[in-house]
Structure 1
Amino acid sequence: MSTAQTVAQLFALDPLLEPEELAIRDTVRQFGVDRLRPHIADWFEEGRLPVRELAAELGSLGALGMHLDGYGCPGMSASAYGVACMELEAVDSGIRSLVSVQGSLAMFSIHRWGSEEQKQEWLPRMATGEALGCFGLTEPDFGSNPAGMRTNAKRDGDDWVLNGTKMWITNGSVADVAVVWAQTDLADSPAGIRGFVVPTDTPGFSAPEIHKKLSLRASVTSELVLDDVRLPASAMLPDAAGLRGPLTALGEARFGIIFGSMGAARDCLETAIAYAQSREVFDKPLAGYQITQTKIADMALEVGKGHLLAYHLGRLKDRGEITPEQVSTGKLNNVREAIAIARECRTILGANGITLEYPVIRHANNLESVLTYEGTSEVHQLTIGKALTGEGAFR
């Protein structure tokens, strides 16, 4: 009998990673085994996550803002950050979301667009997990069209006064600082949009948590309410004018999803293979039936191709050559394939596939959110379509 291979062996994936990237992958994977996997099903079922506790541990691991330079950030490559996201999402999308929002949205926005004072105040503490951040762009009525946001910032003397509501904000109710995007009347800002660094203990700021979720249950999701939140002029991100600021940050988060979604897909496939090898049907292992092997082979192809695409885009990003259209291509393909793989794996597990004893239905539910956040599949299809045809079709 031949020895079974993994998808990594089938596609010879490990030689495509640098030694440092392999070391980071193995470290984060072991952290998942030791610290996260024993608890994740309970956290998901109970609809909670010990965010502050985990943030401190992830900070000591170097996983928060790991691809940023200076201010206590590790300054790793984009590919290293990607493989870390892959291992975190192999455990649960909610864990990777915590890291993505902290590092790729909140920290990245301050690092890229903030003043030196803002960077010094927040980034070192955010890198260690001492301070938590969130990112306020999406609104109840404006997700795919952020230019229509109603949250506004009006000048009052030397201050800014913010009013509005943001929705579906990861880490919102546990954050120490929120990067909030709002409409202003500044002539130098396209559409008037500017970003503000908002300490969450500012009077008028509240973040009620959203409950009764059936996806990303092991994640804190909140609404942000800004009711006459008064900020000094120094709270504005000085170098971010218009939608370029938030959309650049979203590109960073989407990049992590390209890798992360394949972690979830791989975990589902490995679970399904192990189950099929041990489950007997008609006095024979389920893995020994042609239809089961056909499913496994087809899913392995997509997991392998998804890894190759992620690694390729990682190298492009490391060279500073990646484009938004390429990020959209990776996000659209890998998340779409990951959710299809999760659903197919559920069929191999049968009734056992709907329980939290196995990770498959949890991954499938989580991927329903990953499919639509950081840009819906339709938005990414139109982005790719515009790149290929030269015609915009968003409206």
Structure 2
Amino acid sequence: MTDRLRPEAPDPQDFLALDATLSAEETDIRDAVRAFADRELRPHIADWFEAGTLPDPRGLAKAFGDLGVLGMHLQGHGCAGTNAVAYGIACRELEAVDSGLRSFVSVQGSLAMFAIHRFGSEEQKSTWLARMAAGEAIGCFGLTEPDSGSDPGSMRTRARRDGSDWVLDGTKMWITNGSVADVAVVWAATDEGVRGFVVPTDTPGFTANTVHRKLSLRASITSELVLEGVRLPADAVLPHSAGLGSPLSCLNEARFGIVWGAAGAARACYAAALDYATTREQFGGPIAGFQLTQRKLADMVLDVNQAGLTALRIGRLKDAGDCHRNHISLGKFGNVAAAQRVASSARSVHGANGITLEYPVMRHMVNLETVATYEGTEEIHALSIGQAVTGVSAFR
């Protein structure tokens, strides 16, 4: 009997060799998005974050469109039609740069475009989807309100019929891309229940106000939408939307991107900490040689790889048609918490340098505070998981 060859040592950047399980197409998408991120995004992201904005959102939208990541998991109308894992990989590579960049793509593709694709008429699809996939039109998604976050059923935005028209009044808050959008998918209560509306942002009565002085997700445009007597034709309603389940299904699509994105943020913080620890010298040697530093790195490796496994498994379930919304709740709940732990520990490895924008860890650390809150707070996802395993709802 011949001796078995000794396996190669694990790759510090992919300890469990998860990317070795990707298909050729998934690997190509990873490489393309990663190369784009390294070339076009990473060199500028610290400046964008410090400035608190995206200096050229339309140029960025066009670049994302050319890359093919806007609505990439949707079929037809100019969309790439990739599988869920490929979309997740794109989200991972973008959030490894910054959560705000993944949010841009996620809101465009998994909220605004998905809503039109799933619930829209053929005319609405033909009017908007190809342009949005190309980055020629920017979309936003108006569900959250100043007094209605985790409980969207309490929304105050109303749509009433006036002859054959609809008239919308209300306010939406924390809307990514709102003040640069060409179209808003707005959810409103009607006498028939919650319905979605396709609202061109140049419609009279529609105003978008940019939210300033943010301490998190600064490389992202966040807005308040104000609708005052916004009059829309009858065909502005998403004809297949019915009830609160419609916007919640859109949020579930976007949360899937967060499951992967958080894994990317965690990976970026770990990689920065590993690089810093092996090059920073104190007491006559690299700090990577200290036991306490190695324990921090070991904990990071565990969190990064478990987050990657979770994302990949949920992605495969989604592609097989077996992904329940509670699977995605589990993924967001676990992966965001893991990324927060990694970011915090990576910041400590960097010492005082970790609080500067010369290194990515503090930027990721504060961004993840927002990621933990939006599209379902960690508390809401914990209760969703609790309900799934006990059969008892603790929401009311």
After TM superposition, give the deviation of residue 5 of structure 1 in Å. 5.1
- In structure 2, relative to structure 1, the CA distance for the partners of 1:4 and 1:274 (3 Å cut) is farther
Contact 2:14 2:305 in 1 (8 A): no
Which residue in the other structure is 1:377 paired with? 378
After TM superposition, give the deviation of residue 15 of structure 1 in Å. 1.7
Moved over 4 A (4+): none
SS in 2 for 1:392: coil
Which residue in the other structure is 1:52 paired with? 58
Q: 2:79 aligns with which of 62, 73, 76?
A: 73
Q: Distance in 1 between matches of 2:364 and 2:180?
A: 24
Pair 1:362 & 2:395 matched: no
Which residue in the other structure is 1:33 paired with? 38
Q: Distance in 2 between matches of 1:389 and 1:48?
A: 43
Which residue in the other structure is 2:323 paired with? 322
Which residue in the other structure is 2:241 paired with? 240
After TM superposition, give the deviation of residue 9 of structure 1 in Å. 3.9
Q: Distance in 2 between matches of 1:5 and 1:223?
A: 47
Q: Distance in 2 between matches of 1:216 and 1:23?
A: 29
Which range is displaced more, 4-13 or 247-256? Answer: 4-13
Which residue in the other structure is 1:146 paired with? 152
Contact 1:172 1:220 in 2 (8 A): yes
SS in 2 for 1:258: helix
Which residue in the other structure is 2:167 paired with? 161
Which residue in the other structure is 1:216 paired with? 217
Contact 2:49 2:218 in 1 (8 A): yes
After TM superposition, give the deviation of residue 6 of structure 1 in Å. 3.5
Matches within 5 A, 1:238-387: 238-387=239-388
The one-letter amino acid of 2:317's match is L
Q: 1:131 aligns with which of 105, 115, 137?
A: 137
After TM superposition, give the deviation of residue 347 of structure 1 in Å. 0.3
Contact 1:7 1:304 in 2 (8 A): no
After TM superposition, give the deviation of residue 244 of structure 1 in Å. 1.1
Matches within 5 A, 1:97-112: 97-112=103-118
Which residue in the other structure is 2:206 paired with? 205
After TM superposition, give the deviation of residue 4 of structure 1 in Å. 8.2
Q: Distance in 1 between matches of 2:202 and 2:14?
A: 50
Pair 1:85 & 2:91 matched: yes
Q: Distance in 2 between matches of 1:88 and 1:10?
A: 20
Q: Distance in 2 between matches of 1:156 and 1:335?
A: 45
Which range is displaced more, 8-17 or 116-125? Answer: 8-17
Pair 1:194 & 2:178 matched: no
Q: Distance in 1 between matches of 2:228 and 2:289?
A: 62
Aligned alpha-carbon RMSD (Å): 1.0
After TM superposition, give the deviation of residue 115 of structure 1 in Å. 0.3
TM-score by structure 1 length? 0.97
TM-score by structure 2 length? 0.97
Which range is displaced more, 164-173 or 44-53? Answer: 44-53
Contact 2:179 2:209 in 1 (8 A): yes
The one-letter amino acid of 1:81's match is Y
- In structure 2, relative to structure 1, the CA distance for the partners of 1:131 and 1:165 (3 Å cut) is same
Contact 1:8 1:304 in 2 (8 A): no
Counting aligned pairs with the same residue, the percent is 64
Which residue in the other structure is 1:24 paired with? 29
Q: Distance in 1 between matches of 2:97 and 2:9?
A: 23
- In structure 2, relative to structure 1, the CA distance for the partners of 1:271 and 1:6 (3 Å cut) is farther
SS in 1 for 2:225: strand
The one-letter amino acid of 2:36's match is F
The one-character-per-residue Cα deviations of 1:231-288 (angstroms, maximum 9, x if unpaired) are: 0010000001001110000000000000001101100000000000000010110001
Contact 2:10 2:16 in 1 (8 A): no
Q: Distance in 2 between matches of 1:70 and 1:29?
A: 25
The one-character-per-residue Cα deviations of 1:171-229 (angstroms, maximum 9, x if unpaired) are: 0000000000000002xxxxx10000000000000000000000000000000000000
Q: Distance in 2 between matches of 1:36 and 1:9?
A: 22
After TM superposition, give the deviation of residue 8 of structure 1 in Å. 4.6
The total of aligned residue pairs comes to: 388
The one-character-per-residue Cα deviations of 1:23-51 (angstroms, maximum 9, x if unpaired) are: 10111011111000110000000011121
The one-character-per-residue Cα deviations of 1:96-131 (angstroms, maximum 9, x if unpaired) are: 000000000000000000000000000000000000
The one-character-per-residue Cα deviations of 1:128-187 (angstroms, maximum 9, x if unpaired) are: 00000000000000000000000000000000000000000000000000000000002x
Contact 2:10 2:17 in 1 (8 A): no
After TM superposition, give the deviation of residue 12 of structure 1 in Å. 1.5
Which residue in the other structure is 2:191 paired with? 185
Q: Distance in 1 between matches of 2:177 and 2:14?
A: 37
Q: Distance in 2 between matches of 1:77 and 1:229?
A: 37
